[in-house]
Amino acid sequence: MRPYEGYVYAYPHKTAYRPLDPRPALTDVWAGERPGALYVHIPFCEMRCGFCNLFTRTGAPESLVSAYLDALERQATAVRAALDAATPTSTALEPSGGSCSASGGFATAAIGGGTPTYLSPRELERLFDLTERTMGVDLTAVPVSVETSPATAIPDRLSVLIERGTTRLSIGVQSFVDAEARAAVRPQRRSEVEAALDAIRACGVPVLNIDLIYGIDGQTTASWLHSLETALTWRPEELFLYPLYVRPLTGLGKQGRAWDDQRMELYRTGRDRLRDAGYEQVSMRMFRLPGTAASTGYCCQTDGMVGLGCGARSYTSGLHYSFDYAVGARHVRAIIDEYVARDDFAHADVGFHLDEAERRRRHLIQSLLQAEGLSRPLYAGSFGTDVLDDFPLDGDVLAPFAHWLEVEPGVVRLTPEGLAHSDAIGPALFSPGVSARMEGYAAC
């Protein structure tokens, strides 16, 4: 088994989605559901990195950004109306952790992309206005995460973010070695990165996250440790360590098995160094200083997510949906153009219906890939059965990884070595139906 098959950040993946016929009304989709999380997607960047497969375009003119925000407001209006109709009482909109009536039922919010800080301060103000006024979310009452970049994390934009309630800023640095950044097709200078980090720390945001990448061409253990040590000088509350993936249509060539060995060695080096520095491991990628996690009532296994923007996905217990998905620049631009011209946002267009078996499998995957593991009481409370009755250790699903599992009365979790192989275990847990859909998807 190769350790790097794919990053499972959601199940099922968007490549398993298909056009919905008939298109369900959002009022029906959200009937009896908890929204939980709000995600707003900005599909614009100042540049496209060589490893990037996100839904984004570069060099968007001001007129397109303005038109996109117009469409985002139309979508927010339609979605809010559907949520109000589907869950007409404030109690129904409360997430599982308690009352959030002042925040429209949402327990947490995030703005991603793309690069949200590609927007000007005026455009950012408008983005926050429509999120608060149209969606009814008090962004000062819930944790708010925003993604940024070294080129756009500048004081005028950061000032808007802090004034509007941002509690977490995530910045993609990838490497503090200029040659490695260039090898990953990320044209940035270390001086620019350091200035951005200084500006973020100066603005006083409670949580700073730094993204780093290992497996870059020419990277060594010494240079990887150099980037880690440099990042630690800002004492970020969170660090994400991403293995470099070479995906279709992302601009970097294929690598061989020796590259897997190098990535695993660098992963273990980074993991051990961060543990020594006092960080706790949350998942294969995420490391966090103890006591710095935001307190929310959101639970990804049981609560839904509302996505706004043409690259966002939404999910309820029975349906995951979005707009069309693409990676290639030409197709991304076409989808953005279609989105900004759109008026009907009251229906779900593209998605995946989860039956009972898929819901159980999703709960397993979403939980098992976290360091804390799967809570057996939470699973039993959701489905009325024990997870090991549904997925026996000697059954087809878990047997290949049983040696990487720790089983206790209240939890099933991966061992440290199992967590290191998350990118192999996650895809292997996909159902045959989801895998077949993903294989049948034509990348564009």
CATH code of residue 362: 1.10.10.920
User: Rounded CA gap, 4 and 239, in Å?
Assistant: 20
The answer to whether residues 283 and 432 belong to one domain is no
The answer to whether residues 246 and 375 belong to one domain is no
Asked if the structure places residue 327 within a domain, the reply is no
Does residue 439 surpass a pLDDT of 70?
Answer: yes
Nearest to 29 by CA among 321, 342, 298, 310: 321
* The pair of three-digit structure tokens given for residue 340, joined into one six-digit string: 């900004």
* Among the ranges given (255-264, 299-308, 416-425), the one the predictor scored with the smallest mean pLDDT: 255-264
What's the CATH code of the domain at 250? 3.80.30.20
pLDDT of residue 40: 97
Token pair 């819901």 is found at 359
pLDDT tens track for 56-103: 666 778 999 999 999 999 999 999 999 999 875 433 333 333 333 445
pLDDT of residue 106: 92
Asked if the structure places residue 229 within a domain, the reply is yes
**Contact between 404 and 414 (Cβ < 8 Å):** yes
Mean per-residue pLDDT for 310-338? 88
The answer to whether residues 280 and 375 belong to one domain is no
* Among the ranges given (60-74, 177-191, 336-350, 398-412), the one the predictor scored with the smallest mean pLDDT: 177-191
The answer to whether residues 266 and 371 belong to one domain is no
pLDDT of residue 245: 84
CA atoms within 13 A on the CB side of 202: 13
Three-class SS state of 414 = strand
Please report, rounded to a whole number, the percentage of residues in the chain having pLDDT higher than 70.
89
Nearest to 206 by CA among 168, 154, 235: 168
Asked if the structure places residue 392 within a domain, the reply is yes
Asked if the structure places residue 295 within a domain, the reply is no
Q: Where a domain ends, among 267, 288, 309?
A: 288
Domain that holds residue 22: 16-288
The answer to whether residues 276 and 360 belong to one domain is no
Q: Where a domain ends, among 249, 266, 288?
A: 288
The answer to whether residues 156 and 280 belong to one domain is yes
The answer to whether residues 102 and 185 belong to one domain is yes
The answer to whether residues 33 and 174 belong to one domain is yes
Asked if the structure places residue 310 within a domain, the reply is no
pLDDT of residue 88: 53
The answer to whether residues 365 and 276 belong to one domain is no
How many residues are listed for the chain in this entry? 444
Asked if the structure places residue 294 within a domain, the reply is no
Mean pLDDT, the chain, whole residue set: 89
The answer to whether residues 281 and 406 belong to one domain is no
Mean per-residue pLDDT for 121-142? 94
Asked if the structure places residue 360 within a domain, the reply is yes
pLDDT tens track for 356-408: 999 999 999 999 999 999 999 999 999 999 999 999 999 999 999 999 999 99
Does residue 51 surpass a pLDDT of 60?
Answer: no
pLDDT of residue 55: 61
Q: Where a domain ends, among 288, 303, 337?
A: 288
The residue type found at 440 is G
Give the number of domains in the chain. 2
Mean per-residue pLDDT for 403-427? 98
Does residue 49 surpass a pLDDT of 90?
Answer: no
pLDDT tens track for 193-207: 999 999 999 999 999
In angstroms, the Cα distances linking 12 to 16, 58, 65, 80, 443 are 6, 28, 30, 25, 16
The answer to whether residues 169 and 22 belong to one domain is yes
Asked if the structure places residue 177 within a domain, the reply is yes
